[in-house]
Amino acid sequence: MTGMPSESKVDSKITKKLREIVGENNATDYKHIRYAYSYDLSFVSPKLPEYVVMPTSVEQVQEVMKFANQEKISVTPFTAGTNIGGLCIPENGGILLDMKRMNQIIRIDDESHYCVIEPGVSHAKLASELAKLGLRWSWPVGPPSASVSSNAICHGIGGLSGRYGLNSEEITSMEVVLPTGELVRVGSCAIQEDSWHSCLPLPRVDGLFTGWLGTTGIVTKIGLRVHPMPPVLKVFTASAENIGDLATYMRTLGNYEICDDITGVSWWLSQVPIPYPYKPKPDDAPEWVSFATTFSWTEKEKQAREEIWQSIMDEQTKNGSSVKSTVYPEEALRARTQLPSQIVGSTKNYTKQAGAGISWPGTFTPLNKWEPVYEQWKKILVERNLSPSVRVTNYRGVHYGMLRAMIPFPKKTPETIENARQAIVECLKVDLDAGGIPYKPPVDFGLEINKRAHPGYVELLRKTKKMLDPNDIMNTGKLAL
């Protein structure tokens, strides 16, 4: 909003107050600016915020929240705008709080292996600074402009999730502005102001702000574990004719805990862009391909990993599996190993045949449920002329994993949007029935989750939300309560 004419006459008393807090050029009710924040690529219907505010300090965030709570104005937190689940679309208008100007890397501790950053720090910015120290973060396959902090607090995944788990499991401390404007710290920084190394052994109060879809507070600083970057890379690539064989291979490889990332993608997802409308897979192409990344400190360590992998492949062949070694496209491999990536990290690359729309039922599902869920997903999607472009990824060895369909669709007509929405929700119901849990869920997903939820769980959510946000102003409606 820099460059907005300071002499502009705005009648709104609320806009004037917000400008007093953050500066003349950092708050607006201009419709053309508000419109840019009203939609994403998902099936979620666009909704205009009434005000857009860009703070530059935690004190400004506090003042905005105190004012919004006093006036009972809804606030939707926003960082890079790369989310495609509707989470930053304001359900109730109000203030769109754009945090991208708070983009400082406060500290990188290269001895204790953690960093402290503000919410506007992008993957590209942090990657660049960490690389200078021989360190890395668990980068997702997403655009370099995406927010590191948002990925962590929304239980995002990354290229180290096969080894370390979700990126939220890497959080070491937080500073948070509550919906009522108070500032709180959780983790070691709550006890000693300059200590950001651990959330333990204190009560896990950080859980009040992770996975809550921006409904309980605004994280203004976050501590995150970072990791050394071994110099020797080896990527194991394999193919399979069906997801059952692939899941067995991925589970077996995961048992050895030698990989940073173990991922499989269906033939439709391996095509960039994803085919729209649905087109059959060529008969001579395997339905699934997989890559598994390993990083070693020495060539001997790499050779030991290769020996383990080859023994797994021999075992699969002996058992009659269709899994075999394959050549993965070099450009695609770079996109999976040189993260954050501009090669496939930009969502628009997936949607070029569909026309601007993409969404997913993204879930955390045990590996032994992948096959039955995928087979039902495939039937649902093909019947609606959508590609079964699905990804599966191990977390923490074999504990459980991601099962996600990336579904591009045209946004030019209500009919094509509704067709995709219904397909995605139908797929979600199948996974919920199998015990999977969706991540970063839009309201449509939240409604399905809460239908199945234990009543005590739902009541606990209500009580916690009411305690932290008595006027229900934070990202109103996103919990689908």
282 Cβ contact partners less than 8 Å away, ≥ 6 residues apart: none
Same domain, 34 and 122: no
Query: Could you tell me if residue 158 is inside a domain?
Result: yes
Same domain, 331 and 196: no
**Concatenated DSSP letters of 64-113:** HHHHHHHHT--EEEESSS---SSTTS-TT-SEEEE-TT---EEEEETTTT
Name the E strands within 297-424: 324-325, 356-359, 362-365, 390-395, 400-405, 407-410
What's the CATH code of the domain at 357?
A: 3.40.462.10
Amino acid at 477: G
Query: Could you tell me if residue 471 is inside a domain?
Result: no
Q: How far apart, in whole angstroms, are the C-alpha atoms of residue 284 and residue 239?
A: 12
Q: How far apart, in whole angstroms, are the C-alpha atoms of residue 341 and residue 24?
A: 36
Query: Could you tell me if residue 352 is inside a domain?
Result: yes
Query: Nearest to residue 42, comparing CAs of 357, 406, 442, 415?
Result: 357
By CB neighbour count within 10 A (0-12 exposed, 13-18 middle, 19+ buried), where does 314 fall?
exposed
Same domain, 21 and 164: no
Q: How far is CA 360 from CA 129, 163, 408, in A?
A: 32, 25, 9
Domain end marker among 197, 228, 259: 228
Say if residues 387 and 405 touch (Cβ distance below 8 Å). Answer: no
Q: How far apart, in whole angstroms, are the C-alpha atoms of residue 313 and residue 158?
A: 25
Query: Could you tell me if residue 447 is inside a domain?
Result: no
Query: Nearest to residue 322, comparing CAs of 356, 293, 285, 348?
Result: 285
Domain that holds residue 143: 105-228
Question: Residue 343: what pLDDT?
Answer: 56
Domain end marker among 98, 123, 139: 98
Same domain, 325 and 293: yes
Question: Does residue 125 sit in helix, strand or coil?
Answer: helix
Question: Residue 270: what pLDDT?
Answer: 87
Same domain, 168 and 86: no
Number of domains in the chain: 3
What's the CATH code of the domain at 38?
A: 3.30.43.10
Q: How far apart, in whole angstroms, are the C-alpha atoms of residue 205 and residue 199?
A: 8
Say if residues 221 and 103 touch (Cβ distance below 8 Å). Answer: no
Q: How far apart, in whole angstroms, are the C-alpha atoms of residue 443 and residue 238?
A: 37
Query: Nearest to residue 286, comparing CAs of 240, 244, 252?
Result: 240
Query: Could you tell me if residue 111 is inside a domain?
Result: yes
Same domain, 392 and 279: yes
Same domain, 79 and 157: no
Identify the segments of the chain with pLDDT beneath 70: 1-11, 329, 331-332, 335-336, 339, 341-349
Model pLDDT for residues 88-125, shown as the tens digit of each residue = 999 999 999 999 999 999 999 999 999 999 999 999 99
Question: Residue 330: what pLDDT?
Answer: 72
Same domain, 128 and 182: yes
Domain end marker among 74, 98, 122: 98
Same domain, 218 and 256: no
**Concatenated DSSP letters of 202-221:** S--GGGGSSSSTTSS-EEEE
Query: Could you tell me if residue 180 is inside a domain?
Result: yes
What's the CATH code of the domain at 192?
A: 3.30.465.10
Same domain, 239 and 353: yes
Q: How far apart, in whole angstroms, are the C-alpha atoms of residue 209 and residue 400?
A: 23
Same domain, 245 and 320: yes
Query: Could you tell me if residue 5 is inside a domain?
Result: no
Query: Could you tell me if residue 1 is inside a domain?
Result: no
CB atoms within 10 A of CB 186: 21
What's the pTM? Answer: 0.94
Model pLDDT for residues 149-177, shown as the tens digit of each residue = 999 999 999 999 999 999 999 999 999 99
Q: How far apart, in whole angstroms, are the C-alpha atoms of residue 106 and residue 103?
A: 9
Question: Residue 9: what pLDDT?
Answer: 44
Same domain, 17 and 141: no
| Block residue for tokens 């109103």 | 476
Q: How many helices (H) and strands (E) does the chain have?
A: 14, 21
